[in-house]
Structure 1
Amino acid sequence: MRNDIKKFWVVLLMTASCAGPLFSQYVIADLGNFDMDKVYVKGFTVKRTATITIDAVGVMSRSEKWNRWNPMIAYGWILNSDTKEIVWEMRPNNISSESGTNNIVYQGTMALQPGNYEAYFSTYGQKIIRISRSDSYMGEFFKNLVKVFVEDGDIYRDADKWKLRIVTNSSADNFASFDGSKSKKVICALTGARDSDYLEKGFTLEKDMKVRIYGIGEGQDRHMYDFGWLTDDKTAKTVWEMRFENTSHGGGAEKNRSYSGILNLRAGNYVATYVTDDSHSFTEWNMQPPYDPANWGVTVSVLDEEDLAYVRDYKKSKKQEIISITRVGDSEFKSEGFSLSKTTDILIYSLGEGRDHRMYDYGWITNAETGQTVWNMHYSDTKFAGGTEKNRLFEGTVTLEPGNYLVNYKTDGTHSYDDWNDDPPYNRSKWGITLSLVNNNDAKNLSKYRESEDENLLAQIIHVGDDEYRTKDFTLNSTTKVRILCLGEGKSGHMYDYGWIKNASTGQTVWEMTYGMSQSAGGARKNRIYDGTIYLDAGKYEVVYISDGSHSFEDWNDDPPYQQDKWGITVKVIK
């Protein structure tokens, strides 16, 4: 448990005094004298079933502007600390107006079963008028700006009367103080998360077991902004993630989301992670807090306390990096290669920019021999990476067969490393793509690959600029299958930057890139690509590439192609 959570309880318990018996009643909680923008809590334990009387005074908005938001501004609730269920709260349908004031009142009785409880009172409600990141919230904010000040202008006039008082006719020995301590069954707690936090903790399970995951975070419009996930550290696969679809309202502001569920885990090493954006977090709420504010984060617990004997702390292993293309700036394309001698599991960590289900800064991996894309950073496979919503993260594994591979990364003209046009991601220095070994023992399978040193490379003319005419020669001793990769410019059925191959002895053209045989190369519509194979007889050949006066490598007048580094022609032997 974080020190600040302990302080949260100590300070607030001091403000929540328990008075002695009055008219044979025992005072369980007596909260009052509130400051604005605070959450007050008093924990208590019930030993035997008891009936309690609740006397609460708070305030709610009088305006109809809160048709979407929670109208409660100063209000109380009681949380069962063991089950995380709300046993009572002030709601618009169970309160009445206090005569002569702006306040609302709740008075009633209820039975509490044995267990640990937390009585809360929040005064964060007035912050509900602040602007949220949601477009629909923004629209309602401006539409109702006048109402905020006119209809609720004097709503805090009687704040000195706000209170939450809980008493009982049961004897005092049926109750005890409760300090909010975690259950003994907790094996990992990333809680009390603040703004822009990145929390991480590992644990080892020495046998298969069921665990309970409890998470509280922020989400709206079907996106999560403060959330957690659980990763199998051996395979780097995410075994659980807190998504908007698997969470429910967590109390307070609509954007507070809660998850509670049971997960079957195999024996192994696991890493829990929790991240937050730059607003609305523990003790820094910009709207009403959740029912269980101190547990903002994620908690993992065993179901059976006896299973604790098979749980150990675990330090996340450091994976050996094999490719690191990071800190990528605007309008860049970068590529690096590697070779594998055996089938190998690779961990991919890629940060990029994406929105509306499309990626703009992203990475991909191609087979250097066949040109086939073996992995691509699709928007649907990414998750929120912190900062602005368009920061996206892919973290997962791919199994690659023996061969040569090229790792590529491209960016558009905005929002990249050190030139952000909105909030950067949590791990900004990793903007790009990083490949690591899942099993460090596989390092023996790995070597560097440079296409320029490839023994199968016959000729390559790339990075072609404006108004160039370039040639390369090669010789074949027998009939050979070759792969041709050619990127150029073409539109309306005509090519303007393109290549061809001719027999050096006869001058006959044996292959030429035409518009009809090419396909879209990504980026601008005029970017064209041919990627295919032909057979060439034994003999001497000349490769030619020509470009016109515009739209070429590093001097694009429109969006570049995806493989801009290959603008030109490459000829390789296929074995």
Structure 2
Amino acid sequence: MKIINTIALAILMCSTGLAQSVKLGDVYPKEVKIQGFSVSQSGDVNINGLGAVFEDDWKLLIYYGWIIDADSREVVWHLFDFMKDEDIDGEDGPFKFDDKVSLKKGNYELYFAGMYSNRNWNRERDKDWYFDGFGDTMDWLFGSRRRESYRRSAQDDLFIKVDGSGVKAADARSFLDSKTKNAVVSINKSKDDQRFSEGFTLTGSTELQVYAIGEGSDGEMFDYAWITNANTRERVFEMDYRDSRYAGGARKNLKVNEKITLPKGSYLVNYTTDDSHSFERWNALPPDDIQFWGISVWAEGSDKNNVVAYQEPKTVKPLVALTKARDDEMIAKGITIKKAMDVRVYCLGEITGGDDMADFGWIVDASTRERVWRMKPYKARHGGGADKNRYVEEVITLDPGDYIVYYATDDSHAYGDWNSSQPYEPEMWGITIWAINEADLKNVAPFHPEEYKNKNELAVLTMVGDRALVKKTFSVNEDTRVRVLGLGEGSGGEMYDYGFIKNMDTGKIVWEMDYRNSEHGGGARKNREFNETVMLEKGTYRVYYETDGSHSYRRWNDDPPSNQEMWGITVLKEGK
């Protein structure tokens, strides 16, 4: 018999001739089968079959079954609970089981699985986290190592059967459809590497039942759900590791089943999965309720009347979306703000071990080149996946003016080419800005940064690369105070990338960027920055900027500066 490595879920239907019993068998390793059945009257039902535990290298291959209530989704019988009370000492490989359980009239789902597990599992010891190892419970199942050929021949005979008065087979799919047909949102049977977002709108304050199952360990979530206010992006619900309960099977299977109350508004239900352990393929024992791997939300009673089709707020459309940023990229977009307004900034990037930002965003005033916002490490929160995935989300006020939004990445770990676990929202890698109030949307206009012309601009020599000497000439018709912005490289009291200004009428250098008049410019210590005003007499001037053979714009050999697009020199008229 060929062993299949991928999970196959079979929804089986029995003929009317088997109306008094249901049975599952012929399960491959890493496979789960489901059979629905109904009980027409309350009473005892018999559960019997042949399970097994086989050694397979450093893991165990366990054949076992369980029953859940199709409406409440709670476990009503589990083979593991039966085994801990039975004395089958000396058994090895397959073992018989025969039990009874009292079931109320209703609908049920029978499961039979052949799943791999680590050793040292003990459900009774761990209770709420009942997956830590199989040792004490399973020691009596082993006396010697079984050969692979024995396992393959034995597994053909493994099964679980339920029989009793009033037991009748049913289609488990109909139970799932019935349970979810009136749900506000139901995202279930989620597979690897998926991302879902579904909206709904409430016309008044509403109590909702939230049921979500996912994966988490060591304080982090990998498959999980959250709900956001579509207008403000505020997370009104999140499947948090600390507040989740054990969902059966492997210890990392977690669930939440709780009531929340949300005010009138529009909301987005989100669910994300990583690249392993999902309804598509389990790499450890699956949860008890495998079909609800995802999130489902219900309203009950009169609150159902408050739920209407999703009405997307106009503010959902971003003013700026520099996302899906890839390695070694620097992207920018300009916006003109005609009236002071509040905006929401969301920036998702990478933090290095030294608490420096490797992939990050910032906003500058286009007319003054002053930085008005930057993604700061101390404000960043974990963005899911690898610990270095970090995000900042906050509301800021932008006064009337022109702004340029930037996002830059280093040479590794970005959208489409992660070198570690990706964040929960990989498509948001970058910076996004939304208006808070719908009325403000008419007060924003985009522009292309490369086409922007500052009315106070005298000379701009920026984004300078290695081994360059660039220059630009300008004139002032009267004595003028100018602001000089210089960003370059220096260490040990010397400058290697720097700028200077020469009076062409006198031939004298009137200003030069040196180590002493500059300050640290962010990133590597050798990044030096100058930002001060200088008085220039009436006349003609030439601005120069010179670089050496390393560490310049987009050719950094150490951490780049905070405003890397300013690498060079900028001269602006001051105060007009």
Q: What is the TM-score of this pair, normalised by structure 2?
A: 0.77
1:122 aligns with 2:113: yes
What's the C-alpha RMSD, in Å, of the aligned pairs? 4.2
In the TM superposition, 1:6-405 aligns within 5 A as 11-14=10-13, 19=18, 27=21, 29-45=22-38, 49-61=42-54, 73-91=62-80, 93-97=84-88, 102-113=93-104, 116-125=107-116, 153=148, 154-168=150-164, 171-172=165-166, 179-180=175-176, 181-182=178-179, 186-302=183-299, 304-314=300-310, 316=312, 319-325=316-322, 328-346=325-343, 348=345, 352-353=349-350, 359-368=357-366, 369=368, 371-376=370-375, 378=377, 380-381=380-381, 383-384=383-384, 389=386, 392=389, 394=391, 398-402=395-399, 403-405=401-403
Q: Which whole-Å CA distance do the structure 2 matches of 1:32 and 1:351 have between them?
A: 48
Decide which moves more: 179-188 or 287-296. 179-188
The 1:165/1:328 distance shift into structure 2, 3 A limit, reads: closer
Give the Cα separation in 1 of the matches to 2:460 and 2:188: 55
Q: How does 1:490-501 map onto structure 2 within 5 Å?
A: 490-500=490-500
Asked if the contact 1:476/1:537 (under 8 Å) is kept, the reply is no
Contact map agreement 1:550 1:556 (CA 8 A) in 2 = no
Question: What's the CA shift for 1:268?
Answer: 0.8
User: Gaps (5+ residues) in structure 1?
Assistant: 1-7, 22-26, 129-136, 138-146
CA distance in 2, matches of 1:16, 1:90: 26
Structure 2 unaligned spans of 5+: 1-7, 120-131, 133-141
CA contact (8 A) 1:349 1:393 kept: no
In structure 1, C-alpha distance between the alignment counterparts of 2:92 and 2:557, rounded to whole Å: 68
Paired letter, 1:234: N
Contact conserved, 1:345 with 1:399, CA < 8 A, in 2? Answer: yes
The CA deviation at 1:506 is 7.7
Q: How much does 1:467 deviate? A: 4.7
TM-fit CA distance, 1:405: 2.0
Residues 532-565 of structure 1 deviation map (CA, whole Å, 9 limit, x = unaligned) = x447477558464442432233554555434322
Between the two proteins, the alignment pairs up a number of residues equal to 532
Tell me, in whole angstroms, the C-alpha distance in 2 between the residues paired with 1:541 and 1:114: 95
Structure 1 residue 407 displacement after superposition: 0.9
Aligned amino acid, residue 497 of structure 2: D
Greater Cα offset, 373-382 or 179-188: 373-382
Q: Which moved more, 1:469-478 or 1:282-291?
A: 469-478
Correspondence for 2:476 = 475
Pair 1:563 & 2:563 matched: yes
Question: Secondary structure at 2:242's aligned position in 1?
Answer: helix
Moved more, 238-247 or 564-573: 238-247
1:187-238 deviations in Å (ceiling 9; x for gaps): 1101111233222221111111121211112233433332222121122333
* Distance in structure 1 (CA, Å) of the matches to 2:212 and 2:475: 63
Give CA-to-partner distance per residue, 1:412-465, whole Å, 9 cap, x none: 123456766679889877754444545565332113455851223343222334
Aligned mate of 1:414, from 408, 412, 415: 412
Checking the alignment, whether the CA contact within 8 Å between 1:18 and 1:30 is kept in structure 2 is no
Q: Give 1:486 shift.
A: 1.5
Between the aligned partners of 1:100 and 1:233, the Cα distance in structure 2 is 57
1:345·1:397 contact (CA, 8 Å) conserved in 2?
Answer: no
Report the secondary structure of 2:232's partner residue. coil
- Contact 1:409–1:432 (CA under 8 A) maintained in structure 2: yes
Superposed, 1:422-433 pairs within 5 Å as: 432-433=430-431
CA displacement at 1:530 relative to structure 2: 2.9
Letter of the 2:526 partner, please give it: K
SS class of match (2:207): strand
1:514 paired residue number:
514
Query: Quick check: 1:34–1:123 contact (8 Å CA) kept in 2?
Result: yes
Of 534-543 and 554-563, the range deviating more from structure 2: 534-543
**Aligned CA distance change for structure 1 residues 344 and 115 (closer, same or farther; 3 Å):** farther
CA distance in 2, matches of 1:522, 1:17: 75
Q: Is the 8 A contact 1:97 1:103 kept in 2?
A: no
| Alignment partners' CA distance in 1, 2:112 and 2:413 | 42
> Which AA in structure 1 matches 2:229?
D
Mapped to 2, the partners of 1:554 and 1:351 lie a distance apart of 21
Measure the CA separation in 2 of the matches of 1:107 and 1:173: 17
Tell me, what secondary structure is at the counterpart of 2:189?
A: coil
Amino acid at match of 1:54: I
The aligned runs of 1:446-465 (5 Å cut-off) are 446-448=444-446, 450=449, 452-465=452-465
TM-score normalised by the chain length of structure 1: 0.77
Task: Pick which of 407-416 and 511-520 moved more.
Answer: 511-520
Aligned to 2:442: 444
Q: What code does the residue aligned with 2:219 have?
A: R
Give, as a single letter, the amino acid of the residue that structure 2 aligns with 1:34. Answer: V
For residue 298 of structure 1, give the secondary structure of its aligned residue in structure 2.
Answer: strand
For 1:343 and 1:327, the matched residues in 2 are separated by 29
CA contact (8 A) 1:59 1:74 kept: yes
Structure-2 change in CA distance of 1:395 and 1:294 (3 Å)? farther
| Identical counterparts, % of pairs | 32
The offset of 1:295, in angstroms, is 0.8
Evaluate the alpha carbon distance shift between residue 95 and residue 351 of structure 1 in structure 2; reply closer, same or farther with a 3 A threshold.
farther
Counterpart Cα distance in 1 of 2:17 and 2:420:
49
Range with greater deviation from structure 2 (285-294 or 356-365): 356-365
Q: Offset of 1:260 from its aligned partner?
A: 2.1
Determine if contact 1:229/1:274 at 8 Å carries over to the other structure: yes
In structure 2, do the counterparts of structure 1 residues 307 and 90 end up closer, same or farther at CA, with 3 Å as the change threshold? same
3-state DSSP class of the match of 2:288? Answer: coil
Distance in 2 between residues matched to 1:380 and 1:96, nearest whole Å: 54
1:314, distance to aligned residue in structure 2 (A): 1.2
The answer on whether the counterparts of 1:463 and 1:566 sit within 8 Å (CA) in structure 2 is yes
| Residues 338 and 405 in structure 1, CA contact (< 8 A), matched pair in contact too | yes
| Per-residue CA distance 1:381-420 (angstroms, 9 max, x = gap) | 3524xxx858958595634322332211112123456766
Cα offset for 1:61? 4.7
d(CA) in 2 for partners of 1:529, 1:240: 43
Kindly indicate whether residue 549 of structure 2 is the aligned counterpart of residue 550 of structure 1: yes
Contact 1:461 1:568 in 2 (8 A): yes
